[in-house]
Amino acid sequence: MQKLVRILFIAALIGAAVWGWWVLFPSPERAIRSQLKKLSETVSFDAKEGTIPKGFKAQKLLDYLTVDVEISVNVREYPVHTLAGRDEVMQALLYAQSNFKGLQVKFLDINVTVGPDKQTATANLTGQATISGDRDLNIQELNFSLKKVEGKWMIYKIETVKTLSQLNRPAEFLLQ
Amino acid sequence: MNVKTGTERQMATDTKRSGFPYWLRVVLIGRNPKFTIIRIVVLVAVVFTMRAYVLLPIQIKGPSMLPTYQENGINFVNRLAYLRSEPRRGDVVAIRYSGESRLLMKRIIGLPGETIEFRSGQVFINGEKLDEPYMARDFTGDWNLGPEKLPPDKYYVVGDNRSMPERQHVKGEAERRRIVGKVLLCKNWFAFSSSQH
């Protein structure tokens, strides 16, 4: 009986050590997934949220982005738009916070590819945004480019992906 | 004088032993718990395998496939549909984004290598008008696109709701690798009413 207890104790100890290692030293892929999950929580807000928590979130957003971050948006209905630098991105979030009642962002189906140098990575994912009061789901495939800055994965580029490529409009309709 | 049958004696013994009435035990875990466990394990394995490799359940959101498929309807994607054959014109398919959590549900109207064009909402393939029985017979709209030749590995997909404004309607060329499978049912099986309406 005592032997069994000893074996169980050693097994539990090994399990705890493995779990500790897993938590303290995550693989680049897991670290990036965790970073993206936190980012989605940071840009999301609900109607009840006050101005101070929203401002705190906008400030916190900077922790995930490099100084020269670039966000390139090319989606149907809207002209191509690029946000350059952290300040522009923060302004965009502040604009969303003041113009929408609430915004829930989710990153789904994240496929992470870490570069051979282990210092850069790309994440292909599906972004889902739900605006309070709007019954439509806004879904867009995105590519995130990340690099390691002082041991932390930071986003330096976000691009929209055309899941379905479009047909060109005839010249006479392009002029309209 | 009371005479108890074998079953009644068993029921009485079981009730005394477990604290549960015999009928409740039968309803919850069956007459033979071993067989019940085996049945549950087999059922879970079958459901898991079907879900992962054969039929993917979906719920339809958005109006782009109206009137064929209603919003909030339940349907399934047959993953094995294109195992031995390639997608065909008229097939309603599911197209993935970066994964399968969210899918686009569209109808294939153009095949690889064909030239596709929209003229006043009507589809023209290689210059000939496409017969679309799933659309209203006298349908005309304001969609004007193309003509453009599809690359070798791309299919042109579009929803059935062409009365939507063209710019709001998600459509376009889908790579073969993005097509997850064919939508199983021609109409919705049943539709949940949405609280968002």
Active site residue B106: yes
Residue A166 to residue B173, Cβ atoms within 8 A: yes
Which residues in chain A are contacts of B168 at CB distance < 8 A?
A: 76-77
Classify residue A8 as exposed, middle or buried by CB count within 10 Å of its CB (0-12, 13-18, 19+): exposed
Which residues in chain B are contacts of A136 at CB distance < 8 A?
A: 62
pLDDT for res A84? 94
Are the CB atoms for B52 and B45 separated by under 8 Å? Answer: no
Name the residue of chain B whose CA is nearest to A134's CA: B196
pLDDT digits (tens, 9 = 90+) for A18-31: 999 888 888 899 99
Residue A108 to residue B154, Cβ atoms within 8 A: no
Of B98, B172, B196, the CB nearest to A165: B172
pLDDT for res A26? 84
Q: Which residues pair with B90 in a beta bridge?
A: none
What 3-state DSSP class applies to A16?
A: helix
What 3-state DSSP class applies to B88?
A: coil
Identified catalytic residue from B4, B34, B64, B149: B64
Residue B97 to residue A139, Cβ atoms within 8 A: yes
Q: Residue A90 pLDDT more than 60?
A: yes
Residue B95 to residue A141, Cβ atoms within 8 A: no
Q: Which residue has the tokens 């079958």?
A: B46
Active site residue B149: no
Q: Which residues of chain B have a pLDDT value below 70?
A: 1-18, 136-138, 188-197
Residue B62 to residue A108, Cβ atoms within 8 A: no
Interface ipTM: 0.80
pLDDT digits (tens, 9 = 90+) for A116-174: 999 999 999 999 999 988 877 889 999 999 999 998 999 999 999 999 987 665 555 44
pLDDT for res B194? 40
A5 residue type, one letter: V
Torsion of CA A147, A66, A104, B59, to 10 degrees: -30
